[in-house]
C-alpha cells in the first residue's frame, strides 16, 4: 500500500512511474473513455432498423394512421406498448412517446414548470430561489439542465442503496423551494447503483413541503443489463409509480426512458410516463409546440424490436459486446491498484459506467495526466453539480465506446496515472482539497 | 347578385337552397378540407427516402461522423447546405438544423425569450404584459403559441403586399412591450400572399422601441410553388436577412423552414437561420436540452433530395398533383359564386391554402352548415388570434389532402353552404357581427 511507504521509497517509486509515463507519452496515443456512447459493433446490431419500414403497409399504424403525415401528439399505441416495459407502466394511457431525446423531455418539463407551474401551483420563475437535489456522483447533463435555470443544486450523498434518504427527507420536509430530485434509479450514471425498495418507498412517501415536488426518474438503463443467462445478476428496481400510488403521492414522479442505448443514440425514440393528471397537463402544453413526434421512427422501433422479448434478445446482444469490456475494467483496475490502496470503484450489473474514486485530491491530476498521455477521460468533477467535486476524487470511466484492445491500452494508461498522481499527493507535489463541511 | 334581390326572391331562393342542402345531407358525406396536409399521392413521392440510408457508408457524414451515434448539436454540414436555399441563407454557419418540427423551434425560441431574454435583454417573463403582432388572416398554430405565453395578440390587417406596414410601424415605434411579429412571408397561410420587397425592407428598418423585437420568419412555403415550367408565375421574396443586414438590424429576424411539406410531415427535418450572435446564443441553450437532433434523418434528406435542383424537381412533382386541385377550387368558386356576389378569395401561386371571405357574419354559419352536411372545414375564426374573427367572414380552404373527386364534391357542398348562409344573412336569419373599432 502506497500509504505505508517511507519517503525514500515513494521518491524511488515516483521516478519509476515518471519513467513509465514518459514512455507512454512517446506512443502518441489517442484513446477515449469519456462518454457513454455505444461502440460501432453495438450500433451494427440495429442496422436492420434502417430499412424495416420500407413498404406502404409499414407506414400505417394499427389504428390506420398514415405515419408519413401529420398527427398523433402522444405516440402510436403500438409504440407506447413497446416502451411500456421500459417505463414499468401498465396503462399506456399514462405514456407519451417523444422525439429522439429523453433529455429534451426532461429539459422541457422543467421549462414548463418555470413558465406555467403545474397542476395549479405557481410558476417556478416566481420564486427567488429554487432548489434541486442532486444525488452524487451523478449525470452532468442532468445537473446542467437545473443549472441553466439558475437553481441551487444540493448534492446528496449516495451509497449502494441509492441516495441517503435521511438527508433527502430532511431537505424536503420544511423547505417549499426544494422542487425536485434527479434520479437514475437503475444502474445509475456513473455508480451503477440500483435503488433499493426502501429508498424508492421513502422517496414516494416522504413529506415534501412543496406540493409540486417532482422526482425526475430517468430510467435510462432500465433494460441495460450486463448479464443474460450467464449466471450473473440482474438488478431489480421497484416501480416509483406503484410506490407513489401506494403512498398516495400519485403526481410526484415523472418517469423517462429512451432507446438511445437500445438502437441508435440520437435517432431513437423517447418516452415518459406519469399520473393521468400530469399526462393530461403535459399534452395540453405539448400540443402547442408540436403537431406530433416522428411516427415513422416509432414504427421502425416497433417493427424492429417487436416487443419485450425482442428488446430482451437485443439487449442480450449488446451485453455480449459490453460484458468483456466491463470485466476488463475490473481486472485491470484490480491487477494494478489492489496493491496500491486508496482507490475504490464500482462493479455494476448493468449500465454504461464504472465509478472510480481515487485518493482525495487526485482526480483532476489523474485526468490531466491521462489527457497529456493521449487518453481522454470524463472531466474530473463532471459527476458533481457545477462540475466541482469537493473531494476531487471521483472519475467516471466509460468503457463502452472503444474497441477492447484500445480500452485495454487506455486502462493501462489510466492506472499508471492513478499511481503517479497518488505518489505526487503523498510526496506533497499536489494538495488535498480543503473541504467545507 | 344576391344583394340586389327582392325579399320574395330571396325567400324563394332560400327554399331552393334548403332543398338542395337537404338532398346533400342525405348523401352522408365525410369530406375534409380542414388541414394543410399533403395527400397520399404526394407522400408516395418520398417513399424512396425511407430506404435511401441503408448501408453503413450512408451513415457517415462528409466529415466522418457516425450518424448512428450521439453528437453534432447544430446539424450535419451537408444537411445545412441542403436547407440553405430554403432559408435564403448563404453562410451555413448561420444555420441550425433541428428536429421534425419547425413549430417546435419557434415555440422553444419564444420559451427561451421568456426564461432568459436574449442578447442581454431581460426575460420576457419579467414584463407585466408582452404584445405580439399577428398579421391576419394567419396561422392558428402560430397564434396558439403566443397565446400560451399569455401575450396580448394584436391583429394587423394585410393586403396583397403583406401586413399593413403603417400599422406595424406605429405599433412598434413607442411600445417596448411589443416584442415580435409572426410572418409567413411567402405563399402565406392562408392568403397565399408573398410579401413585397417594400414590406420586407420596412420590417427590417422600422424603428422598434424594443431592442429585442423579433421577426419570426416562418418560410414554410419557400419552395412550394404551383408553377414549374408551365408558364405560370413563381413569387419572389426578398430575404429578410439581407434586408436586416442593410438596415443594420442584423439580430431582428429568425428564419424558419422545414421539409414537412417537402418529404414527410412529422418525419421531416427543420432548420433556422439567424445572425451569428443569435445562433451562438441559441446553441448555448440548445446544448443543455439535447445532445443533437436525428442525424440519420438528416442523411435521408441529403441522399434523397440531393441539392437545390433535386428539391426543385421534387417540388415540381408535388405541383403536378396540387395544381389541378387549386385550379378546381378557382373554377368551382367562380362558377358558383361569381353571380352571387359578396365573396372574395385568393388565387395563390403556391402554398397550401385558398383564403375565402364570405359576406360579413356568414363564416361561422358556413362552417356549421358544411359540417352538418359532412364536410369539415377549418373552424371559422381560426385565422384570427384567439379564434375570433371580428368580421366573421374568413374561411381557410385547404384543398391538398382529399383526392380530386372528393375535393370536387366538398367544394360543391361548400359553395351551396355559402349561398345558403348568405341568403340567411340577407333574410335576417343570422346577424352581422357588431364590430368594435
Show which of residues 253-282 on chain B sit within 8 Å of chain A, judged by CB atoms: 260, 264-267
Write the pLDDT tens digit of every residue in A251-306: 999 999 999 999 999 999 999 999 999 999 999 999 999 999 999 999 999 999 99
Q: Could you tell me the pLDDT band of residue A433, with boundaries at 50, 70 and 90? A: confident
ipTM metric: 0.97
Task: Indicate the pLDDT class of residue A321, thresholds 50, 70 and 90.
Answer: very high
Tens digits of residue pLDDT in B215-257: 999 999 999 999 998 999 999 999 999 999 999 999 999 999 9
B430 CA: distance to closest CA in chain A (Å): 33
Note whether B355 and B3 are within 8 A (CB).
no
Shortest alpha-carbon distance between residue B103 and chain A (Å): 6
For the segment A142-161, the average pLDDT, to the nearest whole number, is 98
**CA-to-CA separations, B409 to B104, B395, B402, in angstroms, rounded:** 35, 18, 10
Question: Where would I find the beta strands (DSSP E) of B29-101?
Answer: 31-33, 95-97
- Rounded mean pLDDT of chain B? 97
Instruction: Clarify whether residues A220 and A162 are in a common domain.
Output: yes
Which is nearest to B367 in space by CA: B324, B428, B435, B430?
A: B430
**Domain match, A317 and A353 both:** yes
Helix (H, G, I), strand (E, B) or coil at B271: strand
What are the cell numbers at A69? Answer: 403525415
Regarding whether B217 and B69 lie in a shared domain, the answer is yes
DSSP structure class, residue B121: P
- Three-state SS annotation for chain A: CHHHCCHHHHHHHHHHHHHHHHHHHCCCCCEEECCCCCCHHHHHCCHHHHCCCCCHHHHECCCCCECCCCCCCCCCHHHHHHHHHHHCCCCHHHEEECCCCHHHHHHHHHHHHHHHCCCCCCCHHHCCCCEEEEEECCCHHHHHHHHHCCCEEEEEEEECCEECHHHHHHHHHCCCCEEEEEECCCCCCCCCCCCCHHHHHHHHHCCCCCCCCEEEEECCCCCCECCCCCCCCCCCCCCHHHHHHHCCCCCCEEEEEECCCCCCCCCCCEEEECCHHHHHHHHHHHHHHCCCCCHHHHHHHHHHHCCHHHHHHHHHHHHHHHHHHHHHHHHHHHHHHCCCCCCEECCCCECCCEEEECCCCCHHHHHHHHHHCCEEECCCCCCCHHHCCCCCCEEEECCCCCCHHHHHHHHHHHHHHHHHHHHHHHCCCCCCCCCCC
pLDDT, tens digit, 9 for 90 and up, residues A206-242 = 999 999 999 999 999 999 999 998 999 999 999 999 9
In the sheet that A344-345 helps form, which strands lie side by side, from edge to edge? A344-345, A354-357, A394-397
Average pLDDT over residues A386-395: 96
Spell out which residues of chain A touch residue B115, defining contact as CB-CB under 8 Å.
111, 114-115, 125, 149
B195 to chain A, closest Cα gap in Å: 26
**Residue A168 sits in the same domain as residue A294:** yes
The residue among A305, A334, A352 that closes a domain is A305
Q: For residue A99, which residues of chain B lie inside 8 Å, CB to CB?
A: 99-100, 294
Q: Is residue A168 part of a domain?
A: yes
pLDDT at A69: 98
Select the residue of B46, B107, B295 nearest A266 (Cβ to Cβ): B295
Q: Residues of A numbered 361-390 whose beta carbons fall under 8 angstroms of chain B's beta carbons: which are they?
A: none
Residues A323 and A33: their CA atoms lie apart, in Å, by 16
- On whether both B137 and B270 belong to a single domain, the answer is yes
Domain-located, residue A407 = yes
Do A333 and A355 fall within a single domain?
A: yes
Taking CB atoms and an 8 Å limit, are A50 and B51 in contact across chains?
yes
User: What pLDDT score was predicted for residue A428?
Assistant: 92
Same domain, B149 and B177: yes
pLDDT digits (tens, 9 = 90+) for B273-310: 999 999 999 999 999 999 999 999 999 999 999 999 99
Evaluate whether B289 touches B31 at the Cβ level (below 8 Å).
no
Name the DSSP class of B4. G
Q: Can you give the pLDDT at residue A263?
A: 98
**Contact predicate B185/B200, CB 8 Å:** yes
Average pLDDT over residues A382-408: 96
CB-CB: which of A103, A265, A294 is closest to B100? Answer: A294
Q: Is residue B48 part of a domain?
A: no
Torsion of CA B40, B45, B51, B57, to 10 degrees: -150
The per-residue pLDDT for range A162-188, each reduced to its tens digit, is: 999 999 999 999 999 999 999 999 999
Q: Which has the closest alpha carbon to B42: A50, A60, A66, A58? A: A66
Q: Is residue B43 part of a domain?
A: no
pLDDT of B426 strictly over 70: yes
- Domain's final residue, options A305, A329, A347: A305
CATH number of the domain enclosing A399: 3.90.1150.10
Question: Mean pLDDT in chain A?
Answer: 97
| Owning domain of residue B146 | 59-305
Those of residues 63-122 in A touching chain B at CB distance below 8 A are 66-72, 99-101, 103-104, 107-108, 111, 114-115
What pLDDT band is residue A435 in, cutting at 50, 70 and 90?
Answer: low
Report which secondary-structure segment, H or E, holds B253: strand B253-258
Q: Which residues of A touch B46 (CB under 8 A)?
A: 68
Nearby residues of B366 by Cβ (< 8 Å), 6 or more positions away: B358, B377, B380, B395, B414, B417, B418, B421
Could you tell me if B106 and B214 are in contact, meaning their C-beta atoms sit under 8 angstroms apart? no
Assigned domain for B54 exists:
no
* pLDDT at residue B436 in the model: 53
Separation of first and last alpha carbons in chain A: 29
Residue B142: pLDDT above 60?
A: yes
From chain A, pick out residues whose CB is under 8 angstroms from the CB of B68. 43, 46, 264-267
A238 and A89 in a single domain? The answer is yes
Query: Is the pLDDT reported for residue B437 higher than 80?
Result: no
What pLDDT, on the 0 to 100 scale, is given for residue B430? Answer: 85
State pLDDT tens for residues A103-138.
Answer: 999 999 999 999 999 999 999 999 999 999 999 999
Contact B68 A144 (CB under 8 A): no
Residues A74 and A24 in one domain: no
CATH of residue A217's domain is 3.40.640.10
Cα–Cα distance, B316 to B232 (Å, whole number): 12
**In this predicted model, what pLDDT tens digit does every residue of B337-369 receive, in sequence order?**
999 999 999 999 999 999 999 999 999 999 999
Helix, strand and coil content of chain B, in percent to the nearest 5, comes to 45, 15, 40
Torsion over CA: A204, A206, A211, A212 (sign):
negative
CB-CB neighbours of A283 under 10 Å: 12
Integer distance in angstroms from the first to the last C-alpha of chain B?
28
Total domains in the fold of chain A: 2
Interval B393-424: pLDDT, tens: 999 999 999 999 999 999 999 999 999 999 99
| Final residue belonging to a domain, choices B305, B338, B359 | B305
Residues 3-62 of B with CB under 8 A from A: 35, 37-38, 40, 43-44, 46-47, 50-51, 53-54, 56, 59
Same domain assignment for residues A332 and A219: no
pLDDT of A313 > 70? The answer is yes
Tens digit of each residue's pLDDT (9 = 90 or more) over A18-35 = 999 999 999 999 999 998
Element (H, E) at B134: strand B131-136
Regarding whether B284 and B356 lie in a shared domain, the answer is no
Q: Residues B376-383: what's their mean pLDDT?
A: 95
Output phi, psi for A281, to 5 deg.
-65, -40
Q: Which of the four pLDDT bands, split at 50, 70 and 90, describes residue B433?
A: confident
Supply the pLDDT for residue B425: 97
pLDDT-based confidence at B435, cuts 50/70/90?
low
Summarize pLDDT for A340-375 with one digit per residue, the tens. Answer: 999 999 999 999 999 999 999 999 999 999 999 999
pLDDT at A41 over 90: yes
Q: What percent of chain A has pLDDT over 70?
A: 99
Distance of CA A357 to the CA centre of its chain: 17
Burial class (CB in 10 A: 0-12, 13-18, 19+), B394: buried
Do A13 and A92 belong to one domain? Answer: no
pLDDT at A405 over 80: yes
Residue B437 in domain: no
Q: A132 pairs with which residues across the strands? A: A153, A180
Is residue A41 a part of any domain in this protein? no
Position A203 in a domain: yes
Touching check for B404 and chain A: CB below 8 Å? no
Return all residues near B107 (Cβ < 8 A) that are at least 6 apart.
A288, A289, A290, B145
Q: Determine contact, residues A403/A37, Cβ cutoff 8 Å.
A: no
| Per-residue pLDDT tens over the stretch B190-209 | 999 999 999 999 999 999 99
Compute the average pLDDT of residues A323-335: 98
Amino acid at each position: 500500500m502506497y500509504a505505508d511507504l517511507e519517503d525514500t521509497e515513494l521518491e524511488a517509486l515516483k521516478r519509476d512511474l515518471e519513467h513509465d509515463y514518459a514512455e507512454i507519452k512517446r506512443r502518441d496515443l489517442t484513446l477515449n473513455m469519456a462518454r457513454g456512447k455505444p461502440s460501432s459493433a453495438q450500433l451494427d446490431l440495429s442496422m436492420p432498423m434502417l430499412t424495416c419500414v420500407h413498404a406502404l403497409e409499414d407506414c400505417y399504424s394499427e389504428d390506420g394512421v398514415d405515419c408519413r403525415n401529420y398527427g398523433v401528439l402522444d405516440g402510436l399505441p403500438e409504440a407506447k406498448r413497446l416502451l411500456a416495459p421500459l417505463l414499468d407502466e401498465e396503462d399506456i394511457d399514462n405514456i407519451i412517446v417523444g422525439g429522439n431525446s429523453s433529455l429534451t423531455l426532461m429539459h422541457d418539463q422543467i421549462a414548463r414548470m418555470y413558465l406555467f407551474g403545474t397542476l395549479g401551483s405557481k410558476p417556478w420563475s416566481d420564486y427567488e430561489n429554487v432548489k434541486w437535489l442532486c444525488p452524487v456522483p451523478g449525470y452532468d447533463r442532468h445537473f446542467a439542465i437545473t443549472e441553466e435555470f439558475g437553481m441551487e443544486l444540493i448534492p446528496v450523498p449516495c451509497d449502494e442503496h441509492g441516495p441517503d434518504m435521511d438527508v433527502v427527507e430532511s431537505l424536503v420536509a420544511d423547505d417549499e423551494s426544494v422542487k425536485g430530485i434527479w434520479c437514475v434509479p437503475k444502474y445509475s450514471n456513473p455508480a451503477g447503483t440500483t435503488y433499493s425498495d426502501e429508498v424508492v418507498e421513502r422517496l414516494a412517501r416522504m413529506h415534501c413541503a412543496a406540493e409540486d415536488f417532482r422526482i425526475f426518474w430517468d430510467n435510462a438503463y432500465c433494460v441495460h443489463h450486463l448479464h443474460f443467462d450467464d449466471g450473473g445478476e440482474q438488478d431489480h428496481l421497484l416501480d416509483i409509480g406503484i410506490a407513489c400510488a401506494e403512498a398516495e403521492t400519485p403526481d410526484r414522479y415523472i418517469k423517462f426512458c429512451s432507446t438511445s442505448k437500445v438502437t441508435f443514440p440520437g435517432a431513437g425514440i423517447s418516452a415518459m410516463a406519469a399520473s393521468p393528471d400530469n399526462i393530461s397537463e403535459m399534452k395540453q402544453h405539448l400540443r402547442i409546440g408540436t403537431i406530433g413526434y416522428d411516427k415513422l421512427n416509432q414504427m421502425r422501433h416497433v417493427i424492429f424490436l417487436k416487443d419485450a422479448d425482442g428488446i430482451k434478445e437485443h439487449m442480450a446482444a449488446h451485453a455480449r459486446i459490453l460484458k468483456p469490456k466491463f470485466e476488463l475494467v475490473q481486472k485491470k483496475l484490480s491487477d494494478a491498484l489492489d496493491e496500491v490502496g486508496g482507490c475504490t470503484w464500482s462493479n455494476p450489473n448493468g449500465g454504461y459506467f464504472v465509478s472510480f474514486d481515487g485518493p482525495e485530491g487526485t482526480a483532476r491530476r489523474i485526468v490531466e495526466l491521462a489527457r497529456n498521455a493521449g487518453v481522454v477521460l470524463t472531466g474530473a468533477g463532471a459527476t458533481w453539480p457545477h462540475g466541482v467535486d469537493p473531494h476531487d476524487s471521483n472519475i467516471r470511466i466509460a468503457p463502452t465506446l472503444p474497441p477492447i484492445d484500445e480500452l485495454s491500452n487506455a486502462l493501462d494508461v489510466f492506472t499508471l496515472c492513478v499511481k503517479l498522481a497518488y505518489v505526487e499527493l503523498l510526496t506533497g507535489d499536489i494538495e488535498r482539497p480543503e473541504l467545507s463541511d
